């Protein structure tokens, strides 16, 4: 292998990249844009749930219950209903996400010491929000009820108060959770998509044959084509890490050296996947589709980036262990947020190393054959 010939291929690739500043800009900007979106715009906290209330009781007591719910930032009162039939309308039209129905004898019952029921109807179509709304309503109505309870009658059963403390991400900020995961997704996206695209492009335009008949060996072509993208990927990681640090105070509590070492291991696997795709696809259109289906979507949706792996069906949980990103996702978060070390993470690191080695050797063998 000659460094000069590798450099020649690299130089050509770099020239191609520089001639297209927009593409280069997108590859460098998109990760930061995503980080900013996740940091400022997108979050999972369910707040300001639209609540409509039907209150035929119309007493200070019933109004106090409504205020107890809507004085928080969890619920926002959108409408006082005139009848229970209206509940149907506001829910169907999406004007309200939940409806509270207070019985007409609410305050009378309470004054007489008779237990009473309020009814809540929740739009379950958005199951995530509905789940949270249900939890809030239950807890807040219970809390209101407890405050009214005369000490003497409830004395036989006293409440238990769970004091919850959150470690490692005290404010439950989603951007701290997303940043390490975003690095994992971006590496896979860039490495797999761009490397497969650059090789398929040569083949589509017929310039690969020119390279093959030149004295350059397959390995030199491969290295020369991949190294510029390795550099771009690492620059992206640095940008995301920097933006995460400066804008959102995402910590790096563990060893940076360990994180970098495992990151390189993961990058190798991602490049290998890119090579494998290039061996299967003949046109860039197909490359895009395969990359989208085989790498980007699974990395975003199946490796725990947002949705926990443990919530998936058992079979799927077993299958995703074959994806290097599943392991690196755990590693990246454990090192940066929890300060975990190799002693805690060695099974994951081992799995990642094994997968990278397997994917890369399969990919180089396939790449040689297609040349």
Partner 1 sequence: MRRRLRHVIRKELLQIRRDRRIMAMLIVAPLFQLFIFGYAVSLDIKHVPLVVCDRDRSAESRELVESFFRSEYFDLERRVDWPAEFDEYLTSGRALVAVYLPDDFSKRRARGETAEMQVIIDGTDMNSAGVAAGYVGALVKHHVERQMRAARVRAPVSNQPRIWYNPDLNSVNYMVPAVICTILATVMTAATALGLVREREAGTLEQLIVTPIRPIELMLGKTLPFAGIGLLDVGLIVLLARFWFGVEVAGSVPLLFLSAALFLLTTLGLGMFISTVSRTQQQAMLTAFFVIIPSVLLSGFVFPIANMPQVVQWLTYFIPLRYFVTIVRGIFLQGVGTGVLWPQFLALVVSGGAIFTLSALRFQKRLG
- Closer Cβ to partner 1, 86 or 344, answer by number: 344
- Closer Cβ to partner 1, 155 or 213, answer by number: 155
- Burial of residue 192, with CB atoms counted within 10 A of its CB: 0-12 exposed, 13-18 middle, 19 or more buried: buried
CA torsion, points 173, 179, 181, 187, in degrees to nearest 10?
Answer: 170
Kindly state the smallest distance separating residue 233's Cβ from partner 1, in Å: 14
- Closer Cβ to partner 1, 92 or 260, answer by number: 92
DSSP category for residue 170: T
Residue whose pair of structure tokens reads 């262990």 in the numeric block: 321
Q: Which of 209, 219, 211 is nearest to 1 (CA)?
A: 219
Kindly state the smallest distance separating residue 157's Cβ from partner 1, in Å: 5
Kindly state the smallest distance separating residue 38's Cβ from partner 1, in Å: 8
- Closer Cβ to partner 1, 38 or 266, answer by number: 38
DSSP structure string for 232-293 = HHHHHHHHHHHHHHHHH-----S-HHHHHHHHHHHHHHHHHHHHHHHHH-SSHHHHHHHHII
Q: Which of 282, 290, 351 is nearest to 323 (CA)?
A: 351
- Closer Cβ to partner 1, 11 or 45, answer by number: 45
Kindly state the smallest distance separating residue 97's Cβ from partner 1, in Å: 8
Kindly state the smallest distance separating residue 294's Cβ from partner 1, in Å: 9
Kindly state the smallest distance separating residue 240's Cβ from partner 1, in Å: 15
- Closer Cβ to partner 1, 260 or 292, answer by number: 292
- Burial of residue 65, with CB atoms counted within 10 A of its CB: 0-12 exposed, 13-18 middle, 19 or more buried: buried
Q: Do the bridges between strand 49-54 and strand 98-101 make them parallel or antiparallel, or are there none, so unpaired?
A: parallel
Characterise 339 by phi-psi region: left (phi > 0), alpha (psi -120 to 50), beta (else). left
Kindly state the smallest distance separating residue 207's Cβ from partner 1, in Å: 12
């Amino acid at each position: 292998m000659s460094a000069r010939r590798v450099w020649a291929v690299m130089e050509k690739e770099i020239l191609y990249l520089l001639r297209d500043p927009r593409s280069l800009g997108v590859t460098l900007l998109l990760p930061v844009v995503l980080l900013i979106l996740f940091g400022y715009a997108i979050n999972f906290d369910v707040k300001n749930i639209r609540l409509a209330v039907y209150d035929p009781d119309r007493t200070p007591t019933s109004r106090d219950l409504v205020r107890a719910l809507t004085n928080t930032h969890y619920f926002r009162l959108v409408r006082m209903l005139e009848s229970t039939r209206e509940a149907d309308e506001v829910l169907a039209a999406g004007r309200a996400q939940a409806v509270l129905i207070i019985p007409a004898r609410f305050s009378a019952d309470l004054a007489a010491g008779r237990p009473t029921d309020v009814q809540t109807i929740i739009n379950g179509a958005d199951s995530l929000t509905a789940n949270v709304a249900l939890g809030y309503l239950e807890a807040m109505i219970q809390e209101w009820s407890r405050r009214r309870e005369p000490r003497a009658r409830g004395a036989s059963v006293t409440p238990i108060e769970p004091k919850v403390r959150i470690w490692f991400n005290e404010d439950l900020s989603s951007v701290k959770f997303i940043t390490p995961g975003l690095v994992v997704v971006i590496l896979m996206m860039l490495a797999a998509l761009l490397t497969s695209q650059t090789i398929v492009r040569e083949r589509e335009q017929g310039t690969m044959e020119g390279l093959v008949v030149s004295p350059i060996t397959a390995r030199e072509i491969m290295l020369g084509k991949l190294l510029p993208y390795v550099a771009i990927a690492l620059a992206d990681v640095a940008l995301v890490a920097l933006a995460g640090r400066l804008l959102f105070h995402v910590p790096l509590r563990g060893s940076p050296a360990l994180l970098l070492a495992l990151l390189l291991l993961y990058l190798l696997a991602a490049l290998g996947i890119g090579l494998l795709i290039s061996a299967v696809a003949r046109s860039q259109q197909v490359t895009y589709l395969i990359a989208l289906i085989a790498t980007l979507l699974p990395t975003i949706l199946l490796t725990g980036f947002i949705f926990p792996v443990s919530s998936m069906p058992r079979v799927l949980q077993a299958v995703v262990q074959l994806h290097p990103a599943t392991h690196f996702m755990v590693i990246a978060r454990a090192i940066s947020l929890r300060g975990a070390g190799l002693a805690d993470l060695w099974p994951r690191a081992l799995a990642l190393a094994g997968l990278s080695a397997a994917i890369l050797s399969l990919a180089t063998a396939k790449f040689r054959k297609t040349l």
